[in-house]
Amino acid sequence: MTTDTTRDRVLGLIASAGPITASSLALELGVTAAGVRRHLSALLTDGLIEDHEPPGQHTRGRGRPAKSYVATTEGQQSLTSAYSSVAVDAVAFMREHGQLDEFVESKARQLEARLASSIPEGTPIKDRVKLLADALAEEGYATSVRPGPGGVTVQLCQGHCPVQSIAEEAPEWCEAETRVISRLLDVHVQRLSTLAGGAHVCTTTIPVALATSKEG
């Protein structure tokens, strides 16, 4: 039982924080490097994670970046119970009868209302991003916040989506979610990638320098 629990924690952290190295995993989870490598080997064999190669040319040997890992689509889906085919069929039915946009917008507004209660008005933008990430985690998303180049943006990363199977059938869902993020943060955001679109993580770029200067 302990092994399975640790394995799930390893996979969950890779999904939320990947690309991530074995040493970082061991540090975050408080387990030995040998223990992490054992779980990594099993997850690789099962096709739940994969090696992540950073962009650019890299040589073998000294100076080569440490190997890092990301969750595969199968790994993402294993983190939660899959939505039944009935839900996906319902999306197709609503699209056919012109009801999908109204349904998606309604669900987005409900999500926005729940998230908004965690973000006090007047909170600085960087704090709002952190509070939003925490609130999304409570909704079942595996979230992390990463600094962007030059410190003028941050990236909100969602390593897991509880409605991925539906979003794959209805990209409108991701678009509505992006609008929710923008309204809650009161800045224009840009969605760079989505799990539903085949990426290993949903990534949203959020400007913080301009918003901070306006707040000041």
User: What confidence tens digit (pLDDT) does each residue in 25-69 have?
Assistant: 998 888 888 889 999 999 999 999 998 865 554 444 555 567 899
Whether pTM > 0.75 for this model: the answer is no
Give me the sign of the Cα torsion angle 73, 76, 81, 86: negative
Q: Determine the topology of domain 2-78 in CATH.
A: Arc Repressor Mutant, subunit A (1.10.10)
Domain residue ranges in the chain: 2-78, 85-215
SS3 of 194, please?
coil
Provide the pLDDT for residue 9.
82
Q: Which residue has the higher pLDDT, 210 or 18?
A: 18
Neighbouring CB atoms inside 10 A of 127's CB total 12
What CATH number matches the domain at 85-215, 1.10.287, 3.30.450, 3.30.1380, 3.40.630? Answer: 3.30.1380
184 Cβ neighbours under 8 A, 6+ residues apart: 112, 115, 116, 119, 128, 132
Provide the pLDDT for residue 202.
93
